[in-house]
Chains A and B, each alone.
Chain A
Amino acid sequence: MIEVQALHKHFSSGRGRHLRVVLAVAGVDFTAANGCITGLLGANGAGKTTTLRIAAALIEPDAGRVLVDGIEVAAQPTQALARMGMLSDARGLYPRLTARENIVYFGRLHGMDDGAAQARAQALAEVLDMKPLLDRRTEGFSQGERMKTALARALVHDPANIVLDEPTNGLDVLATRALRDTLRRLRDEHGKCIVFSTHIMQEVERLCDHVVVVAHGRTVAVGGVAALMAQAQCSDFEEAFVKLAFEPLGAQPSAQSGGRP
């Protein structure tokens, strides 16, 4: 389970007269339950990636906290990271290593011994349908093949919580469908807590049990797809999203009041 509570983060650049302050996250709140796929839906620059980076202990929040299975990330990053698999938007592989070596390397860094990491790489290759790729160098992999390898790498320590930042970016239809199937299986067969961020409505409609709409750095609506459409009084999910995300002064009960910072 991942709990994000009242998260705030600003970035500043430049000095003196050139000082620019950007409020990236200004009150993101949500809970992602086990055995459930939670979608973090928001436009570009809404604060999704920053939120997930805070969850992965890459950035420290100004205020608020992230709990992974009850462990506070900022206070105990090592323990929290051990319970979390993260596929970030940077998913570079080592081109001179094979897919297997890429996966096993991260397994070893998670403290697994060589045998366990090798076995896990094999098992993941079957789950992700990438067995023929395992012993090829990742140089020259297609986007879909890269994504599978990066996902396997993120899941090598069999984490209870899986966080994916825009995982379908650059994937074709088949690869996207395969990823969706994989995520469903991870949810249904393994009871994982899955959080994934996206700006694609279709993804959310087809996959998510629970949706968190983020706009201007804050959570503006939470609920299932049907519930959100009902809340926005729209029959189309895209319309509902636009209404929820970009009309913050509307009368939605879960939308937080207040204009831009």
Chain B
Amino acid sequence: MIAAAWTVYRKELLDALRDRRTLFMVLISSVAIGPLVLMLVSSLVAGIEKRAEARELVVKGIEHAPTLNNFLLRQTYTVRAAPAGFEQALRDSKLGEPVLVVPATFEADLARGEAPVLELVSSAANQRAQTGTGAVLRLVRAFNQEQATLRLAVRGVAPAVLEAVRVEERDLADPATRAAQLATMVPFFVLMAVLYGALNAALDTTAGERERGSLEPLLMNPAARLSIVLGKWGAVASVGMLIAVLSCLSFLPGQWLLRSEALAAMFRFGVGEALAFMALLLPLAGALAALLMAIAIRCKSFKEAQANTTVVLLTVSMLPLVTVFNQEGTAPWHLWVPALAQTTLMGRVLKGEQMAWVDVGTATLVCVLLTLAALAYVTRTLRSAALK
């Protein structure tokens, strides 16, 4: 039985590896895209950092507001005059900073105690300018605070009177945790890579074999059906696992290309993390391979199987969202759901938390059980499938 399974395994693997074009597309889309996105994010973050370091403010009509100018200079900001036609530039995303518009009567209004109106011009469609508005608003608020405090002090009122409650922010996240926020997308990409890696091979060995009319002759061999199924599953799982390993490793060089130093320091993904990822993903690759085969074996054609397996693709890609939307943190049942368990545990690896062996064991056990159930189903269905 083992010999027959081995024969089937080698043939299916050879067959899958000969499908160069598909394999190439899978490699490109699943292995390269993660690091690519990482680099894009890094260049975006690097841009934001650069702007934060520059401490520059674009203002129109600063000549009307010497007090504000004085405040800004004291905050070590450089004031830059807004270019002509800045509204159009903001609309076209040509200007990357929001523009503060100062009215001509600013100084006089301020002196008379009539709150002058500052206009902060930005565009919701202009991502870069929009991210800068927060900093400008904080700056203006600080100016407000300073002016109010001065006025109260002049009238002999303690500024503390206005503050019924004081808020102090304390961020408990250490750098590793903050990095994990950014890195939450890594498990997602790796998971998708495994799924798409296994998908084609899974469909080809089941629905594809059926569509070609080669399943019936295959079953007329004296080999046991279970060994045929085991061989096929082994090949599909191997392809999935290969993609899993490659995509885990692809984040290692991807990390060296991070352009932001702060980001590179935060995004911890070393050899240890890669190995932990693989340990989590390999059983999942096996389970997904079996599950995809079980769904596809019922389908008469490759196309039908593609439509049917969309459910799996959608579910697996939506599951990580549970961790995003869930307000109560990780619920115990998360570790019993394949894909969700792996996402959760990979998240912990990235946060630098210790993985409990019980949790890893649970996730692996579920995968093994799912694999066995799916393979039993495929074995049982194989014969009726051959006859269409």
B61 contacts A by Cβ under 8 Å: no
- B residues 12-48 touching A (CB-CB < 8 Å): 14-15, 18-19
Given contacts A97-B14, A105-B11, A58 and B19 within 8 Å (CB-CB): no
Question: Across the two chains, which residue of chain A brings its CB closest to B219?
Answer: A58
- A residues 78-123 touching B (CB-CB < 8 Å): 78-79, 81-82, 86, 88, 90-97, 101, 105-106, 108-111
Chain A nearest CB from B239 CB (Å) reads 14
A150 contacts B by Cβ under 8 Å: yes
B222:A90 contact, CB within 8 angstroms: no
Contacts of B7 in A (CB 8 A): 105, 108-109
Given contacts A57-B220, A81-B221, A81-B222, A91 and B11 within 8 Å (CB-CB): no
B217:A111 contact, CB within 8 angstroms: no
A238 to B151, CA, bound (A): 117
Chain A nearest CB from B182 CB (Å) reads 41
A90:B214 contact, CB within 8 angstroms: yes
A106 to B8, CA, bound (A): 9
A78:B222 contact, CB within 8 angstroms: yes
B15:A82 contact, CB within 8 angstroms: no
Contacts of B3 in A (CB 8 A): 111
Given contacts A94-B15, A96-B18, A110 and B217 within 8 Å (CB-CB): no
A111 to B386, CA, bound (A): 22
Q: Mark A59-89, 1 if CB is under 8 A from B, else 0.
A: 1000000000000000001110110001010
Chain B nearest CB from A97 CB (Å) reads 6
Given contacts A97-B11, A109-B8, A88 and B383 within 8 Å (CB-CB): no
Contacts of B213 in A (CB 8 A): 90-92
B216 contacts A by Cβ under 8 Å: yes
A53 contacts B by Cβ under 8 Å: yes
B19:A96 contact, CB within 8 angstroms: yes
Chain A nearest CB from B317 CB (Å) reads 29
B223 contacts A by Cβ under 8 Å: yes
Contacts of B219 in A (CB 8 A): 58
Q: How large is the interface on B (under 10, 10 to 19, 20 to 34, 35 or more residues)?
A: 20 to 34
B4 contacts A by Cβ under 8 Å: yes
B167 contacts A by Cβ under 8 Å: no
Contacts of B217 in A (CB 8 A): 86, 88, 90-92, 106, 150, 153-154
B212:A95 contact, CB within 8 angstroms: yes
A109 to B19, CA, bound (A): 23
Residues of A whose CB lies within 8 Å of any CB of B are 53, 56-59, 77-79, 81-82, 86, 88, 90-97, 101, 105-106, 108-111, 150, 153-154
| Contact sample, A vs B, 30 pairs, CB 8 Å cutoff | A57-B220, A58-B219, A58-B383, A58-B387, A79-B222, A88-B216, A90-B213, A90-B214, A90-B215, A90-B216, A90-B217, A91-B217, A92-B215, A92-B217, A93-B212, A94-B15, A94-B214, A97-B14, A97-B15, A97-B18, A105-B7, A106-B221, A108-B4, A109-B221, A109-B222, A110-B222, A111-B3, A111-B4, A111-B222, A150-B217
16 more CB-based (< 8 A) A-B contacts, given A59-B387, A78-B222, A97-B14: A57-B220, A58-B383, A81-B221, A88-B216, A90-B216, A92-B209, A94-B212, A96-B18, A97-B11, A105-B11, A106-B221, A108-B4, A110-B221, A111-B3, A111-B4, A150-B217
